A and B are shown apart, each in its own frame.
Chain A
């Protein structure tokens, strides 16, 4: 079975731009969660989607949003990028059990 895939793997943006990241879960997994990893804050939960509905949300500003499609693929969007948004963004999928992570998208904001 194929693992979690994330695209793109690397991204460079400038302040004020917006970005969309994509995540394809393991086949059959309906839950997709997103996390931000930075050296200073570690790994922080952004949000979780299940059957196209946001089920959990972390403590991030409204500039961070997401959605899930009927095939369980998920996207997250960050608008009005700030320098502090530079991070590794990880997506994970699960079948109501352990979460399995993708390789991440590394975002650099200049």
Chain B
């Protein structure tokens, strides 16, 4: 069974400082991993995805994540936070079966609320 643990429920940073949101995962097969962001009263927006190509994944709005199989981690980073980054972030895993097909069942972490101070 697949699972995701986001290690921090809240992260607070100052504008212009780096962001680190931590995520560990558990998966039976080779997983697909994603980060989504949710702004208040909005749906979920895909930030980036890992699907067994490069282990360092670049996403939108300057976000990156690195897949580390030995540590079962997929932490999200950004060099310099912006006020507009304030939102809730979800680390998500989707198991692929032995044939490599990714099915439509996503397992979400509990979310990390990012606060950005001026």
Contact = CB atoms under 8 A, between A and B. Distances in A.
Interface of A: 4, 31-33, 35, 42-45, 48, 50, 55-56, 58, 90, 92, 94, 96-104
A96 B105 contact: no
A72 to B, nearest CB: 12
Interface residues of B, number: 21
Contacts of A50: 104
Interface of B: 34, 36, 42-46, 49, 51, 90, 101-111
Contacts of A48: 103-105
Contact of A55 (B42, B103, B111): B103
20 contacts: A32-B104, A33-B104, A35-B108, A42-B111, A43-B90, A45-B106, A45-B107, A56-B103, A56-B104, A90-B43, A96-B101, A98-B46, A98-B49, A101-B36, A101-B43, A101-B44, A101-B45, A102-B43, A103-B42, A103-B43
A37 to B, nearest CB: 9
Contacts of A99: 46, 104, 106
Given A43-B111, A45-B106, 19 more contacts: A32-B104, A33-B105, A35-B106, A42-B108, A42-B110, A42-B111, A45-B105, A48-B105, A50-B104, A55-B104, A56-B104, A90-B44, A92-B106, A96-B101, A97-B49, A97-B51, A97-B102, A98-B46, A101-B44
